[in-house]
Amino acid sequence: MLREFENYLLLELNRSSHTVEAYTLDLTQFEQWLTGPATEATTADIRAWLGSLAPAESPRTLRRKAQSLRAYYRWLLKKGLVNHNPAADLTLAKAPKRLPEFVKELEIEEIVNTYDPSDFISLRAHIVMLILYSTGLRQEELRTLTDADIDFSLGEAKVTGKRAKQRVVPLPPELLGEIARWQKVRDSRYPDLESPKPLICGRKGHISKKTLYNIVNNSLASSSAMKKSPHVLRHTFATSMLNGGAALDSVKEFLGHSSLSTTQIYTHLSFNELKKAYNAAHPRAAEKS
């Protein structure tokens, strides 16, 4: 049953593999907790399950688990396997909005510029950090990027994002040069990669999620950022763009957000620009000479 639901999410709703994986894990946990079949579960059962998880899980995680169940029972209802959705009327507390973590500009610049070009592992970490910081790509977008997606003549990359949506991201000349040099080293190390060649690779082709995460985590070990994940570099890119004067709409397109409201979470981070504007415009901002 769950496998059929997975295919429905992937093929009909076009959900990302990450979302499908999370939903499947939630539903598996719920079914293991139940004493009877999921088709006979009640709203009280779901509340009891979420209540049992509350001491150990964050409000955000609990909300996602509830969403997983809502989606699953909507599908069961559509197939005629249940006659109502027991998760439809759940009311959960709103998850607190957390400010995005980002790496300070001086720190990230030092990190991407400190590497050993003669060492393959060091060079791979360098190109991973440089691309994520320079483009704001999601971890999975970089992991699945291939040589065929990069157009050196136009200076751009075709990126496949969530729900298979594609967008074009400009690549500056310096980054293109770094990518070209990396490809030569990669091809020397792994001459038998199948085409289209994954841009960032390991021995067996596309680099794994775990390896990519570890590369970023280790690279950010010396930074002051609390979180040290690939997504932090996406936040860092967005923050740098806005602090540099980029329009919110432009940052939205770079990040591949479907809604401007998603991008607006970064606007409060450009406080330096806000402070400059205040000092320049308000008569009480600075002392008269």
* Of 46-55, 122-131, 176-185, the least confident: 46-55
Task: State the pLDDT at residue 289.
Answer: 39
Encode pLDDT of 68-119 as tens digits.
999 999 999 999 999 999 999 887 766 666 667 889 989 999 999 999 999 9
Residues 6 or more apart whose CB falls under 8 angstroms from that of 184 comprise: none
Cβ–Cβ under 8 Å, residues 18 and 140: yes
CA–chain centroid gap for 262, Å, is 13
Q: Is the pLDDT of residue 45 over 50?
A: yes
Q: With bands split at pLDDT 50, 70 and 90, how would you rate the model's confidence at 247?
A: confident
* Torsion of the alpha carbons at 265, 268, 270 and 276, rounded to the nearest 10: 150
Q: With bands split at pLDDT 50, 70 and 90, how would you rate the model's confidence at 285?
A: low
Q: Is the pLDDT of residue 53 over 90?
A: yes
Residues 6 or more apart whose CB falls under 8 angstroms from that of 113 comprise: none
What type of residue sits at position 278? Y
Q: With bands split at pLDDT 50, 70 and 90, how would you rate the model's confidence at 277?
A: low
Q: Is the pLDDT of residue 241 over 60?
A: yes
Encode pLDDT of 217-231 as tens digits.
999 999 998 889 999
- Mean pLDDT on 116-138: 95
Task: State the pLDDT at residue 288.
Answer: 43
Provide the CB-side half-sphere exposure for 151 (13 A, CA): 10
Cite the active site residues.
138, 162, 231, 234, 257, 266
Mean pLDDT, the chain, as a whole number? 88
Task: State the pLDDT at residue 58.
Answer: 85
What count of other Cβ atoms lies within 10 Å of the Cβ of residue 192? 5
Task: State the pLDDT at residue 97.
Answer: 64
Q: Is the pLDDT of residue 273 over 70?
A: no
Task: State the pLDDT at residue 11.
Answer: 83
* Of 76-90, 116-130, 265-279, the least confident: 265-279
Encode pLDDT of 249-261 as tens digits.
888 888 888 777 7
C-alpha span between 74 and 110 (Å, rounded): 50
Q: Is the pLDDT of residue 200 over 50?
A: yes
Task: State the pLDDT at residue 163.
Answer: 78
Q: Is the pLDDT of residue 282 over 90?
A: no
* Of 9-13, 97-101, 197-201, 210-214, the least confident: 97-101
- Please name which of 228, 233, 226 lies closest in space to residue 255, comparing C-alpha atoms: 233
Q: Which residue has the higher pLDDT, 58 or 289?
A: 58
Q: Which residue has the higher pLDDT, 259 or 210?
A: 210
